[in-house]
Amino acid sequence: MPAVPALIPKPARLEATGGDPFVISESTTVVVNGRPDLIGIAVLAADLLGRVTGRSIEIRYAESDAPDVVRLRLTTADGEGDESYKLVSNAGRVDLEARSPAGLVRAIVTLRQLLTTAPDGSLRVPAVVIEDAPRYAWRGLSIDVARHFVAKRDLKVIIGLMAHYKLNVLHLHLTDDQGWRLQVRSRPQLTRLSSGTSVNGDPGGFYTADDYADIVAFASVRGVRVVPEIDVPGHVNAATHAYGNLTPSGEPTDVYTGIEVGFSRLYADLPATGDFLREVFADVAEMTPGDYVHIGGDEVLTMEPAEYATLVAAASDAVRAAGKKVVGWQEIASTPLEPGTVVQYWDTRVDPAPFVAAAEAGALLLMSPGSKAYLDMKYDASTPLGLEWAGHIELRDAYDWEPSTLVPGVPAESVIGVEAAIWTETLRDLPALTSMLLPRLAAIAEVAWTEPEQRDWEDFRTRVVGQGPFWDRLGLSWYRSPQVDWR
Ligand code: TNX
């Protein structure tokens, strides 16, 4: 029986059925019934298989029981189900079934990870039955495109990696002191005046409304939703540089290219502030098909709590008025929150009491502990890039933690999911980003996807070995953690 390649994240149930493998031939086709929402998925499947086989794979839009096919099927009439899926492969065919298009994407990447090249050069899929579903509904990666701009083509490489590890939320930190990275219809000066620089005077950039729509669509086909973050009421120097009416003197602030935090701020009693929040969040919400918009809320070090709470409420109201749900960094837990607000936990050094209270009042917690999930932290003291304020994060640190008990007193049902984050103070290009993401992103993805009783470090460190050749094939930089016996 051919060995089954290692899967990451580990599926809920995998049975090697022992029959002959499916062999991809000249005539293998992708078959899908003709629903419009599945066309993109079929193209994705044919593209991924075609890339591995080195030739184009045909798609047929029909119900079919023919052999030699990879068949994609939705089991719900409206496609509104969860991300669970089933994959059955045997010598005759591969069947992928799911309750939603996103579930089919999860099945397709599992199929991609199952492909092996036989000694005769043919591509095979071992005979298996896999039944799989995620532990958490929110499995994210937050990328800081403000400290250093991340070009659209590089972002797409990262979105592809996210999909490969079954992550489903791309959180874009679009604004900060050093730059404003999204074109906003009501405030054209934001990108005109405040997008040109990055940390250290490195080149800047921004996404036009069309670029952003393209990113959203590229992610959506891969089952990844975009959550845009407009960080207020701190981290706003790019905004106050573009619009002087947001400052008490009326004068714009200077460009900022350092890496300090906490000095910039909005002012609740300036008339321009409310309009800014309402119009900017309305525009960003309108550009975003997903349910959530992130208001930031972190590290406002020069404001009284009452004014902070007023501004968080104003930003939250603007997001809700635009029909979206609110996400904010953990600091917002000290303010009154509407039920259903997502609080993103990041700084593990603080008292957990406000998170317990927020959860009791109906907030949901998204777990991004700096000491586990901040993938801009160095692996060890010799890592050339990255920061160290939350400590060093080796691969095992990123893997061996339990989201449901992380914050004492917060009930497991209040945890909506897990999100890795990568901040870019020291990371200026794609090789720098992927050398920090890989292999740790795979570890976080398994924390978010796989049930705790299925997770085991020794098992993971053996499975992750198989990812090295995949990253090499894609030409990506990655870190050869000494905790793994890489080939
Ligand atoms: C903390 S996490 C920050 C960011 C920094 C990051 C660097 C958070 C909400 N704020 O402003 O970029 O640390 O690791």
Q: Residue 423: CB within 6 Å of ligand 1? A: yes
Q: Which atom of ligand 1 is nearest to the CA of 425?
A: 12
Tell me the three state secondary structure of residue 64: coil
CB atoms within 10 A of CB 487: 7
In the prediction, which pLDDT does 2 show?
Answer: 53
The Cα–Cα gap between 367 and 236 comes to: 24
Q: Residue 387: CB within 6 Å of ligand 1? A: yes
Q: Residue 180: CB within 6 Å of ligand 1? A: no
The Cα–Cα gap between 461 and 458 comes to: 5
- Ligand 1 centroid to Cα of residue 80, in Å, is 35
In the prediction, which pLDDT does 61 show?
Answer: 87
Query: Measuring CA to CA, how many Å separate 260 from each of 1, 14, 263, 332?
Result: 58, 48, 8, 21
- Ligand 1 centroid to Cα of residue 485, in Å, is 32
Q: Best substitution site from 175, 263, 294, 298 to test ligand 1's pocket, by max atoms within 8 Å of Cβ?
A: 298
Which residue from 391, 318, 293 is spatially nearest to 349, judged by alpha carbons?
391
Q: Residue 374: CB within 6 Å of ligand 1? A: yes
Strand blocks (E) in 134-243 = 138-144, 169-173, 175-176, 179-180, 225-232
Q: Best substitution site from 177, 261, 377 to test ligand 1's pocket, by max atoms within 8 Å of Cβ?
A: 261
Contact call for residues 233 and 263 (beta carbons, < 8 A):
no
In the prediction, which pLDDT does 38 show?
Answer: 87
Residue nearest to atom 9 of ligand 1 (CA): 298
- Ligand 1 centroid to Cα of residue 94, in Å, is 44
The Cα–Cα gap between 241 and 475 comes to: 39
Q: Which domains, ranges and CATH numbers included, belong to the chain?
A: 13-132 (3.30.379.10), 138-473 (3.20.20.80)
pLDDT digits (tens, 9 = 90+) for 131-185: 999 999 999 999 999 999 999 999 999 999 999 999 999 999 999 999 999 999 9
> ∠ CA 224-294-292 to the nearest 5 degrees?
50
Q: Which atom of ligand 1 is nearest to the CA of 331?
A: 9
Write down how long the chain is.
Answer: 487
pTM over 0.85: yes
Residue nearest to atom 6 of ligand 1 (CA): 423
Counting as low any pLDDT under 50, the low residues of the chain are: 1
pLDDT digits (tens, 9 = 90+) for 171-223: 999 999 999 999 999 999 999 999 999 999 999 999 999 999 999 999 999 99
Q: Residue 299: CB within 6 Å of ligand 1? A: yes
Residue nearest to atom 4 of ligand 1 (CA): 423
Tell me the three state secondary structure of residue 112: helix
Residue nearest to atom 11 of ligand 1 (CA): 261
Q: Which atom of ligand 1 is nearest to the CA of 144?
A: 12
For the annotated catalytic residues, the residue numbers are 299
The Cα–Cα gap between 380 and 209 comes to: 39
